[in-house]
Amino acid sequence: MQTDYVQPFLFEDLDIRGRLVCLSGAWARMVEGRDYPAPIAEVLGQTTALAVLLGANQKGSGRVTLQVRGNGPVSLLVADCTSDLRIRGMAHFAPGATGGVLELLGDGRFALTLDDGRSEQLYQSIVPLQGDTLSDTFSSYLARSEQVEAFLLLLADDDAACGLVLEKLPRADERDPDGWNRMTRFAATLTLRETLDTQPYDLLTRLFPEELLRVYKLARVEYHCPYDVEKVKDMLRSLGRAEVESILAEKGEVLIRNEMCNHEYRFDSDAVAQMFAEEN
């Protein structure tokens, strides 16, 4: 069964395009060892699925980063996706966090950062969290900033993170005045389990049985957050030997934690001595 994909598609007769994403293996690797409670996995999974839906539209060596900050039990969510569909993400939350998505986040804001990979300038848009779901928040963002009417459905649990976006192109109403309402009604019936149990083309034809569909090449998504001890060593060397040895004297070891990738890097006195010896 095909999973960890983005499937772009177009309704030939309606001027409506869409993308379907389903993550299982990549999602499992992203949350492995983090012990997220079910509500946290759900909201992070939805954010990750959204990052992939947006990342699939990027060209070259770009990156989409979504950051959600709130005053609820979940204070921070981060998910990003490169243009070649490599994902990573993490959540900060208070113990015992429960509730719906926006209950967990509280009053806060949603930040979208686009890095085209070709210049130092980043595009960032910040919008308040509103509506009942993250889908509502982002649909409102698209309508205001991109002048694109969109339908967005985000689904996630401990095992999978999936999403579906439909975008209404300029001539859609001319081609079929009821087409947009009809397609969004069908799309709203999609369930998380369906995305895991059905191949993407079969799923789309089942979901939209009477429409002429053009499907494009399936794109693979993977989790990518490698353990990179050399990069950490370079960072420590930049601090200087005196600073690193003062930390070592105080703590007994130098501990660096990469929260985004859930990696720990530990250096004892011998490792620190060897690290600076390698510099010479």
pLDDT score, position 14: 93
pLDDT score, position 222: 96
Check residue 143 and report its DSSP letter.
Answer: I
Return the ∠ at Cα 31 (arms to 25 and 37), rounded to 5°. 125
pLDDT score, position 280: 62
* Helix residue ranges per DSSP H, the chain: 25-31, 38-55, 101-105, 134-141, 172-175, 179-187, 192-197, 200-207, 229-239, 241-251, 269-279
**DSSP states of 191-233:** -HHHHHHS-HHHHHHHHSTTS-EEE---EE-EE-----HHHHH
Domain with CATH 3.55.30.10 in the chain: 5-223
pLDDT per residue as tens, the chain (280 positions): 678 999 999 998 999 999 999 999 999 999 999 989 888 899 999 999 999 999 888 777 788 999 988 888 888 999 999 989 999 999 998 887 777 777 788 888 888 888 876 766 677 888 888 777 888 888 877 777 666 788 999 999 989 999 999 999 989 999 999 999 999 999 999 998 888 888 999 999 999 998 999 999 999 999 999 888 989 999 999 998 899 889 999 888 999 988 889 899 999 988 988 888 876 6
Side-chain half-sphere exposure of 145, counting CA atoms within 13 A: 13
pLDDT score, position 68: 87
Pick the CATH number of 5-223 from 2.40.50.140, 3.60.110.10, 3.40.640.10, 3.55.30.10: 3.55.30.10
The single residue listed with the structure tokens 């409102």 is: 140
pLDDT score, position 112: 87
Residue 128: Cβ within 10 Å count: 11
pLDDT score, position 277: 85
In CATH, what class is 229-279?
alpha beta
Check residue 101 and report its DSSP letter.
Answer: H
Domain with CATH 3.90.1280.10 in the chain: 229-279
* Residues in Cβ contact with 223 at an 8 Å cutoff, skipping those fewer than 6 apart: 26, 27, 29, 30, 86, 87, 88
